[in-house]
A and B are shown apart, each in its own frame.
Chain A
Amino acid sequence: MEKSLIEEWFELYEQDITSFLIYYTGSMEIEDLVQETFLRAWSKINKYKESSHPKTWLISIARNMVIDRYRRNRVWSKIRHTLLQEQNFSISTEQHIILNQENSHLYNAISQLPSKYKEVIILKGILEMSSKEVSHVMKSNENNINVIYHRSLKKIKTLLEKEGYEYGGL
């Protein structure tokens, strides 16, 4: 039962987890993290509450896992902002190939957001999760998520305009 459930979830939500981890860590080398996410999910399957959506639950696991890893490395407190704001979202050559120029600008703008803003943009903006789902992942409330989300959008727009990108000129 558990085995088939996890495998089913893997087929359904692998893309969401992979995308989240790539955007969240800024690295394309996330295969191990994806695997770890599903293994952790399997080991904690008894704690899974059916009232929550499996995708939300899995993303929470992935997010906590990444945070735990940085904490374990004891560099989290020092480089937290730098890591999430700059290094993690610096665009690699590989990603440049995938992203067109427009997206590169957008991506760079996201990378300059404060970490919490960035998380909300990834979850709600890119992965299209509802405010309620994002609030579950981030252990916050929906209103707060909505506020952060709009502030993030505003910030991104400002950053894009600063770079001379004619935002409305698509």
Chain B
Amino acid sequence: MEDYKELQNRLKNLPKYSLENEQKEKLLYTLRAKQNIVKKPVLLKPIFTIVAICSILLLLLLTHEDYYKFSAQQGTVFTLPDRDQEVLGVEGRIGILVFNEQFVAEDKRRVSKMMLYFWGDEHALVDKKFRVEAENIKREKIVLTEGVLSSGLYSEDAHTLARFVPFPSEGEWQLSFYVEDVLFEAFTVNVFPPFPKTENYALVDSPKEIPIGEAYEVYLQSTLGEKEIIEVKLLDNKGRVVETTVFKQDSSVIDGGGGGIIYYYKGNLTWKDHGMWKLLIDGEQTGIFEN
């Protein structure tokens, strides 16, 4: 047993090994990192799940209105049967004479004097009350106009000269035409974004109506008329100037809405492609717009 004790002592005295300090630090770091990585999902998983569910519910809630589908057909452009005039609506039922057959949000001009034509039973239309309602996909509803229908001017069975309330926003709107509170016809229209404007100047044409790749005669309107010429710059979506031109004062009119004199400036601009743009008009910048 003595011998074994000696041997046991020698065994006990065999070297004990330890990692280098650098190895230890590295290993401890790895341990901590791994623990953190493993821990995170345990703690965050339920939170992520709740957040994800809430996000989906919120998204569904917010976009719920966007799923609203119009029942009416899309309005089409057709030529009146007895004269060379294009109207927007449903052929054989209703037609609206509007500039370029296109509505623009916030625009009063195009909706200030509009001819509405009705086709149907003359006796059920003439001298009857009518109402035009507009509703968009967000279920915003406005009454565009109302009044009494007159007899037809040409082949139509009834007509009226109406002034619409401007569309408050761009996008798809359904127009519903009621006669004596009964729905007569309905169709949808796509309303363009408001005209690009600065504090004192506004385009008269919608950029979406301006053809691509050619110098187009553009009109600006302003309540300022002191300057005969103004500088206009076209900027791309990165703010780089792609064209600089001069607009000249062309004419002036008295605003029927009581806003004093409106001055028109005319010049040429070329949009080489579709995209996002800005205009710098007499030092004033428009918001970004799409053509």
Contacts and interface: CB of A to CB of B under 8 A. Distances in A.
Contacts of B6: 167-168, 170
B38 A43 contact: yes
Contact of A168 (B3, B11, B28): B3
A14 interface: yes
A167 B3 contact: yes
Contacts of B34: 39, 42
Contacts of A150: 4
A107 B13 CA distance: 12
Contact of A35 (B3, B7, B31): B31
Nearest to B31: A38
B17 A22 contact: yes
A2 interface: yes
B20 to A, nearest CB: 9
Nearest to A156: B7
Given A3-B32, A126-B12, A157 B19 contact: no
Interface of B is mostly: helix
A68 interface: no
A19 B12 CA distance: 12
A85 interface: no
Contacts of A107: 14
A106 B17 CA distance: 17
B55 to A, nearest CB: 31
Nearest to B5: A153
B215 to A, nearest CB: 71
Nearest to A154: B4
Given A42-B31, A43-B38, A126-B12, A15 B18 contact: yes
B19 A31 contact: yes
B28 A98 contact: no
Interface in B1-60: 2-4, 6-8, 10-12, 14-19, 23-24, 27-28, 30-32, 34-35, 38-39
B35 A34 contact: no
A98 B2 CA distance: 27
Nearest to B32: A3
B27 A106 contact: no
Given A18-B19, A42-B31, A150-B4, A128 B24 contact: no
B11 A125 contact: yes
A3 to B, nearest CB: 5
B14 A103 contact: yes
Contacts of A15: 16-18
Contacts of B39: 3
Nearest to B18: A15
A14 B18 contact: yes
Given A15-B18, A121-B11, A153 B4 contact: yes
B3 A126 contact: no
Contact of A157 (B7, B27, B30, B31): B7
A50 B49 CA distance: 35
A42 B27 CA distance: 13
Interface in A96-121: 98-99, 102-103, 106-107, 121
A18 B18 contact: yes
A123 to B, nearest CB: 11
Given A157-B7, A168-B3, A168-B6, A106 B31 contact: no
A167 B6 CA distance: 9
Interface in B211-256: none
B12 A38 contact: no
Contacts of A128: 12
Contacts of A38: 27, 31
Nearest to A167: B3
Given A103-B14, A125-B12, 5 more contacts: A10-B24, A14-B24, A34-B27, A35-B31, A125-B8
Interface of B: 2-4, 6-8, 10-12, 14-19, 23-24, 27-28, 30-32, 34-35, 38-39
Top 5 A-B residue pairs of the complex, sorted by shortest distance between their CB atoms: A125-B11, A15-B18, A19-B17, A19-B16, A153-B4
25 contacts: A3-B35, A7-B28, A10-B24, A10-B31, A14-B19, A15-B16, A15-B17, A16-B16, A18-B19, A19-B17, A19-B18, A28-B17, A31-B27, A42-B34, A98-B15, A102-B10, A103-B10, A106-B11, A121-B11, A125-B12, A126-B12, A153-B4, A153-B7, A157-B3, A168-B2
